[in-house]
Structures are given as structure tokens and as C-alpha cells.
Structure 1
Amino acid sequence: MSVNPTVPEGPEEETPAASARPLARRDARTLASLDTVRKQTPELNDVRRRIIDLDPRLWINGWLLSTPDAFLRYERELTALDGALAGGSAVGDGTLSLRELSYQLFGDEKFLSPDSDGRKLLHLMGLSDALSTRPPVRLELLHHIPRHHRHMRIVVSENLDPWVNMRAALFLEGRKRLFGERVHGVVFGNGYIVDDPHKLPDLIDSLGAEETSVLYWGDLDRAGLAILDRLSVMAEGRFEVTPFVAAYRLMLKRAMRRFPDPLENEMTDQRDVPVRGLELLEPHLKERERDYLRAVLDAARLIPQEILTVHDL
């Protein structure tokens, strides 16, 4: 039986279509201090009409209709959820990690993290069980290097989800190439691999290769490139470190398509972090890519690794 809440008639107002690509931002919006509003005014009734235009699963329990300010604060995200639910029973198809799905839908890989307002929003709308993501992986899975090679090429990943995707491609699918590049193994760097000067060199020594090349892949932000820079300095004279150019260029391509204005990418708190390591990547980029990346870094923005998923490898 369909449910159609009655909304008092009033003048219809045309509202511009919400963007299909919500801006990535981490601002001061919060669910705190939102009040339940049951009064009827032309303005509130117009908001409720817009809510009723969404998938009924977003408002059927009544919370969103009685809290119209939540719609006004999170209209972009709610519109993205509406699109994700269209024709399906869940948000996601189970192939993406939580962070990957979050970025795909909202342009913010942390919007759906367990303690976030995004997750609370789903709970308040009665959609806590609507997410379908890949099960998380335990952190002790450090590296996957299937066999010995005299000349070894390994990828070191800053973040976990991309590492899991690459490991699955090598181990489960028997792939020998990632992003078109010949690769022999993958290592999870956890973002802190340069804090221990022995961790990666000891692992490389244990491989028994005559020559090892490390392709580093991380977030495109000041902190991520700083790791690349420090890793390159740490490795000097022992093994070669280069950026995983094929992955970085695809990240830039996706970001430029999603956010033509580089300042629409996620904000970070890295204003005081110096820009280092860019000179290692820039020579491999086209002029448009260099200009876009420079604008992202100058504004302390972020293009996360999770912009690429298992489907891109």
C-alpha cells in the first residue's frame, strides 16, 4: 500500500535540479541542534513537497518530513542517496568498500564512516541496513608478493582499500598488470611507512631480488606527496622509488571530470604542510594535469586514492 502524506496546498515553486555530483566538502554542518518541526507554513510545506519527491524509503518513517532543516542542510547528499536507491533494494552493490562507495556518492570518502553524520542520517531515516559494501579487511594483511623475481616491481599503497583491490587482482584473478603496468606484488604502507626507516628496506631485503623498484601510490594531497618525497629520500642508494604514474594520472582524470573546478575537491587541514614531492610526479603529467594538481595542492585540497576502485585496475 503506498503512503502519500497530505501536504496543504500552496503555490508550487520550481526548484532547480540538484546536482548529480555533490560538492566534496567537510564543513561545519551537523545534525546536532536540529529541531522537529510539525507546524505548517508555505515555506515548510514546499520543503516537504521536495522531500516527498525523493524515494519513499528516505522519508517513510516520518523523521525527514518532521525535520525539514535536515533536508536543507543535506539536500545534495539526500539527492545522491535517492539516485543510488532508484530501482534497487540497497545503496551499493557490495563490490565497493565503505570509503569508496562514500566517495562515489558524495565526493567525500568519510561521509559514511561509522561515527559520521552521514551514518547518523541513515539511522534517523531508518536506513541503517541499506548499505551494501564489501566487508572490511583486517589490518595485519601487510603485503602480497606471490613469487620471487630477480627484477622486482612492487606497488606501495598509502591506504587500505586500494591495497585490498590490488591484492585481489593479483591473488584471486591472477593478474600480472595493474593500470597497464607490470607488477609483481603490493605492500600496504598505512600512510606511516616512512616513519620506520627499517620496515620497507627489511621487507625488500627479504625478497632476495637483484633489483627492486617501488611504485608509490597514495592520496593526491600535500601529505600524500610528502610521503612519496620522504620515501624517495629514505630509499636512496638502496632501491628505486617512483610515483605510480598510471594510477595518479587516472585519479586526476576522474577528479577533473567530477570537479572541473579543482577547488571543489575536498578541503583538508594541511595548510601548514609544505608542498614536497610534486617534482617527482610533475614531469610525467600533461600540462592540464599539472595545472589542475597544482591548484589542488595550493588550496590544500585532496583527491583521495578511493576515487579509483576495483573496477579501474
Structure 2
Amino acid sequence: MGYGTRERIEAERALFEWLQDTAGLPGGRAHGIANALSNRSQLIIKRKALLNILKAPDKGARAPELFEVLLDRKIIALERGDLRHPGPNDIFTIHPPSLDEAKDGASRQGDSHQTPRLSAFRPASQFIGSRMHRLTDAPLQTERNIDRLRMLDSWLAQAETHPPIAATLNQRAYEIFNDEKALSEHLDGSFGRLLKRIGVDNETLHIINLDRQRLEAFIPHDSAAPILVVENGDTYESLKYVLGEAGRGRVLGQQLGGIVYGAGGAVCTPGLLDETLAGVNYRKDHVLYWGDIDRSGVAEVSHAREVCNVSIRLAKPFYRKMVQLQKERLRMGFEIEMAPRQSFPEHLDEISREVPLFARWMLLQTIREGKRIPQEIIPLEVLLE
């Protein structure tokens, strides 16, 4: 059953889309398997060779499980051998789905193959419950993300009875998944595709989209209060909304005259912060600083103090609130998130003494253990209080 170059290209494309969108494999692995199955003179393969192809390194689906799904969905079919007594020389024919079937998840090809964890999943929310058929159409994709799916389901169940106040994308991600980057489309393609599959969007999660302007500083009014330098862009936009559209001048008890987006380590560029402050005619001899409670957050404060003329003081009420909210999350069962691959900061003990005593011990413990309490732990509704 030979076939030409054009047919091979179409077969590879259909297999790739099915493996990625329905089976939920990462793009690189889906492409490798699709190419190995389609780039052959005949659409047949021995069991041993097939399992070797499916054993490509991946933390998600295991080869035997993926083999069963391919067989269940009739992507492969036994040509010679006995399924009851499998042998390495069993011959399987390969049947690439049509492109339409690949995009639709091949849901018309029979009953869904459910993984054990998916079979045991009982959604608490009406939203997930009404979309279980979409999850069972992508068993491997769902299996890879089942833990996050459970966290989302729990949050949705609560939101259905007690509608939450709007939050930014990163704030909501941290609230639900204990990871402020969990909803970023750039980090986990499989989870992002799963959310699209079941129709989760900003409206579902009550996420407010604060349009980001290319501003280094935002000074809402002529105030003698100090300016706050903010590490993360999401938090900068939240505070800009609070000080601007919401018309607040005091946040968490701290009077603010404006904010500057520190852009992570950009604030450590020699002269950049001083030039920005001079551009807005800032008169005070000091600014406040608020960043993540992690090693890089402390390192950026330390380095910025070395290269800036203006004095930099920690914004104490913000760090106190971060620790207060983290203690509440610990009581709810949420662990402090890990922040690997960060160098240990200089002047940690000195900087920690500027933090209120209530928050000091947790700040030191978090940084010494290589963990992170992000700024996004303080949601928009708290900043608006």
C-alpha cells in the first residue's frame, strides 16, 4: 500500500494535529511521532518499532497508554497478530485521521478512552460538569493537566455560588493555581489548549483586562507623597488603575504620589531611575520599592541602591500584606511556590530588618528556601480597599 510525497505530507499533518489537539502531546513530540509514522513506504509498522517511537522523552503520556488510545481511536489497527497475546512482530496498519477529524478530536470514531485519573474525576462545578464530554475526547491532554483541572473546578464551584470580584490575569492565576504564570499562553501550551477546548476565557474567570500603556511612570496628580517603584508589570497596571481611574491616593494605608514600573531588573540600570524621576520633576529624596518576596526581588533592591542617587526604601505596608495573605493561603493548604535558578542575594539580613516584624521571619524563610511570594498575591480588590 505505497503512497506518494503529497499523501505523506497530508498524513503527517493530520497525525500531528490529532496528537497535539486531541491527545494533548507537546508540539515537538507530536511532530516527531507524526513524522515517524507517516514517512515510510507503506503505512504499516511492527509493534516493537511503534512502541519505540512512542517512548520519546516526555513527562506526560506514557507509551503503553498512548498506544491504547491510538488503537481505541482506530489510528492504528492490528493487521497480523493477536491482541490477547501481543508479540514484538505484530503488524499494525496506520490510518491517519482526516484533517477535519483531527481538528474535531476524532470524537465520532467511538467511545472515549479514559485514563484512570480521568475516570475518577467528579467535577464539583456545573461549568466543568457540562463539558466532561470535551475532556473525555482528549484523555491524554486531560490526564497531563488533571491536577490543575481539579483546582480550576474547585474555584469555579465556589464562584458559581459566590461570584468573585474581578482580578487581573496573573492575580487570578495565583489565586487558583498558586502560580501567577499558570494562565500564561507562553508557558504551557497543553494546558492553554485544554482551557480553550472547554471554553474557559476571561469572562469565565472574572478577569479584568487593564490595557498596558508603554509608560515608565504614572503620576496621577500633583502630590508631595513618595513615588512607588513596582517590580512587575501586572501589578504596575493594577496600581495605575487604582490611582487613576479609581481615584485613590492612599493604598494599603500608604499615601502615594505616583508609580514607576521597575520592569524587574531594569531598575538596576545605572541612571535610569534617576532620569525617570527627573523627567516627572520629582522633588523628594527617596522613593518606595515593592517587589516579589524572592531572591531576585531582594537582589534588585540591593543592586538598585548601588546605582541610583535617590534613596530607596521598602514599601512596608505592601510586604506586610503579602505575608498576611500568604499565611492565610497556607492555612487553606496552598504551599509557597518554588522559585528555582535564582542566585542568593547580598545584604539579605540588612534588607530584611526594614520589613515589619510581623513579616520578617516568613520573608527570610521564603528567600533562604528558594521560594517566592509574588506581588500578584495582593488582588485588585484589596488594592482598592
Q: TM-score, normalised by structure 1?
A: 0.75
User: CA 1:32–1:227 in structure 2 vs 1: closer, same or farther (change >3 Å)?
Assistant: farther
In the TM superposition, residue 214 of structure 1 has moved relative to its aligned partner by 0.8
Aligned residue number for residue 4 of structure 1: none
CA contact (8 A) 1:98 1:134 kept: yes
Structure 2: how far apart are the matches of 1:289 and 1:298? 14
Structure 2: how far apart are the matches of 1:259 and 1:219? 17
Give CA-to-partner distance per residue, 1:231-275, whole Å, 9 cap, x none.
Answer: 22223xx32210111101111111122126999321122343435
In the TM superposition, residue 220 of structure 1 has moved relative to its aligned partner by 0.7
Give the alignment partner of residue 119 of structure 1, picking from 176, 192, 205: 192
In the alignment, structure 1 segments of 5+ residues that lack a partner are: 1-27
In the TM superposition, residue 95 of structure 1 has moved relative to its aligned partner by 2.2
Aligned residue number for residue 51 of structure 1: 121
Amino acid at match of 1:245: K
Report the count of equivalent residues.
279
- After TM superposition, the structure 1 = structure 2 runs for residues 286-301 of structure 1, keeping only pairs within 5 Å, are 286=357, 289-301=359-371
User: CA 1:181–1:128 in structure 2 vs 1: closer, same or farther (change >3 Å)?
Assistant: closer
Residue 143 in 1 paired to residue 217 in 2? yes
In the TM superposition, residue 216 of structure 1 has moved relative to its aligned partner by 0.5
Give CA-to-partner distance per residue, 1:271-292, whole Å, 9 cap, x none.
Answer: 4343544522334332x63222
Residue 175 in 1 paired to residue 254 in 2? no
Structure 1: how far apart are the matches of 2:123 and 2:182? 23
User: CA 1:172–1:203 in structure 2 vs 1: closer, same or farther (change >3 Å)?
Assistant: same
In the TM superposition, residue 217 of structure 1 has moved relative to its aligned partner by 0.5
Q: Secondary structure at the match of 2:228?
A: strand
Structure 1: how far apart are the matches of 2:313 and 2:228? 10
CA contact (8 A) 1:228 1:277 kept: no
User: CA 1:177–1:78 in structure 2 vs 1: closer, same or farther (change >3 Å)?
Assistant: same
Q: Secondary structure at the match of 1:86?
A: helix
Give the alignment partner of residue 294 of structure 2, picking from 221, 227, 232: 221
In the alignment, structure 2 segments of 5+ residues that lack a partner are: 1-57, 73-110
User: CA 1:127–1:172 in structure 2 vs 1: closer, same or farther (change >3 Å)?
Assistant: closer
Q: Secondary structure at the match of 2:313?
A: strand
Determine which structure has greater relative contact order: mean sequence separation of CA pairs < 8 Å that are 6+ residues apart, divided by chain length.
1
Structure 2: how far apart are the matches of 1:271 and 1:258? 24
- After TM superposition, the structure 1 = structure 2 runs for residues 1-313 of structure 1, keeping only pairs within 5 Å, are 30=60, 35=66, 36=69, 44=116, 47-48=118-119, 50-55=120-125, 57-58=127-128, 60=131, 62-65=133-136, 73-86=144-157, 95-115=166-186, 116=188, 117-127=190-200, 130-149=204-223, 151-235=224-308, 238-259=309-330, 264-286=335-357, 289-313=359-383
User: CA 1:276–1:190 in structure 2 vs 1: closer, same or farther (change >3 Å)?
Assistant: same
Amino acid at match of 1:114: E
Amino acid at match of 2:382: D
Structure 1: how far apart are the matches of 2:314 and 2:60? 37
Q: Which has the larger radius of gyration?
A: 2
Higher deviation after alignment, 263-272 or 177-186: 263-272
User: CA 1:233–1:74 in structure 2 vs 1: closer, same or farther (change >3 Å)?
Assistant: same
CA contact (8 A) 2:168 2:380 kept: no
CA contact (8 A) 1:145 1:186 kept: yes
User: CA 1:113–1:218 in structure 2 vs 1: closer, same or farther (change >3 Å)?
Assistant: same
CA contact (8 A) 1:194 1:234 kept: no
CA contact (8 A) 1:156 1:216 kept: yes
User: CA 1:223–1:198 in structure 2 vs 1: closer, same or farther (change >3 Å)?
Assistant: same
Structure 1: how far apart are the matches of 2:374 and 2:273? 23
Give CA-to-partner distance per residue, 1:82-120, whole Å, 9 cap, x none.
Answer: 23323767xx86721111111010100111111324322
CA contact (8 A) 1:266 1:301 kept: yes
In the TM superposition, residue 153 of structure 1 has moved relative to its aligned partner by 0.3
CA contact (8 A) 2:296 2:342 kept: no
Give the % identical residues. 25
Structure 2: how far apart are the matches of 1:32 and 1:177? 54
CA contact (8 A) 2:230 2:260 kept: yes
Higher deviation after alignment, 76-85 or 268-277: 268-277
Structure 2: how far apart are the matches of 1:295 and 1:204? 34
User: CA 1:209–1:188 in structure 2 vs 1: closer, same or farther (change >3 Å)?
Assistant: closer
Q: Which has the higher helix share?
A: 2
Give CA-to-partner distance per residue, 1:147-204, whole Å, 9 cap, x none.
Answer: 445x540001011121112112211222121110111111111113334222210122
User: CA 1:208–1:30 in structure 2 vs 1: closer, same or farther (change >3 Å)?
Assistant: same
In the TM superposition, residue 79 of structure 1 has moved relative to its aligned partner by 2.4
In the TM superposition, residue 205 of structure 1 has moved relative to its aligned partner by 2.0
User: CA 1:197–1:271 in structure 2 vs 1: closer, same or farther (change >3 Å)?
Assistant: closer
User: CA 1:198–1:31 in structure 2 vs 1: closer, same or farther (change >3 Å)?
Assistant: farther
Q: Secondary structure at the match of 1:211?
A: coil
